[in-house]
Amino acid sequence: MVNYTLGEAAAAKLPQFMVKSVTGDVCIAASLDYETKPSYEFPVIATDRGGLSTTAMVKIQLTDVNDNWPVFYPREYNVSLREGGGGGGGSAVVVAVAATDRDSGRFGLVTYRIVAGNEAGLFRIDRDTGEISVARPDLLTNRTPLHHLNVSATDGGGLRALQDAEVFLSVTDPQSTPPHFQRTRYSLAVREDVPRNTIVGSVKATSSDSGRSSFE
């Protein structure tokens, strides 16, 4: 008869798995999460009645499931637009919303849609990038000085963000010029072990009214 056990170190460090001593069946003993740890490797020891033993390595690869919802950060966006256009023409991007999804592969891909506040079709959104632009600049007047859009985010598995993004667009006099970001989206990378208050990059906006740059 052979008795099966996890290696001593593995048993202490891997509460997620257990092995049945009589059959050698490897079983789930605690919850698993692909985003936290996508694979495991550990030894299983087989020992006979005479005390002789041998070891085999077991590697378990998790398969990701769609268990995370997209999340907007930030949830609220405030934009100023000049009457009659989006600041640089009707096709210019005026703001980009962003949501992230912790799942991998197609489950982590997010698409965007304006779900409220755009009944007149004044705005359009790029479903893949979240960039919002003015579709009908001729209808953009300060007679309706404020527009409030709700934007949804849906991942590749069909899960929709539990909270929509809200975009507030104020229409200003065409003589006024709001600050303008050099880019609508910034992608930055940083090591996970950097100390607090480390600068990871800068965003830059310019204002033609003052002739100076402003940073946030």
Q: Over the stretch 181-211, which tens digit does the pLDDT of each residue have?
A: 888 889 999 998 999 999 999 998 887 654 4
Model pLDDT, residue 209 = 56
In contact, 203 and 181? CB cutoff 8 Å = yes
Tell me the per-residue pLDDT of 15-44, one tens digit each, with 9 for 90 and over.
999 999 999 999 999 999 999 999 999 999
CA-based angle 122:150:94, to the nearest 5? 50
Quick one: pLDDT band at residue 97, thresholds 50, 70, 90? very high
> For residue 67, what are the CA distances in angstroms to 64, 75, 154, 156, 173?
8, 21, 13, 11, 46
Please name each of the domains of the chain with its CATH number.
2-61 (2.60.40.60), 71-210 (2.60.40.60)
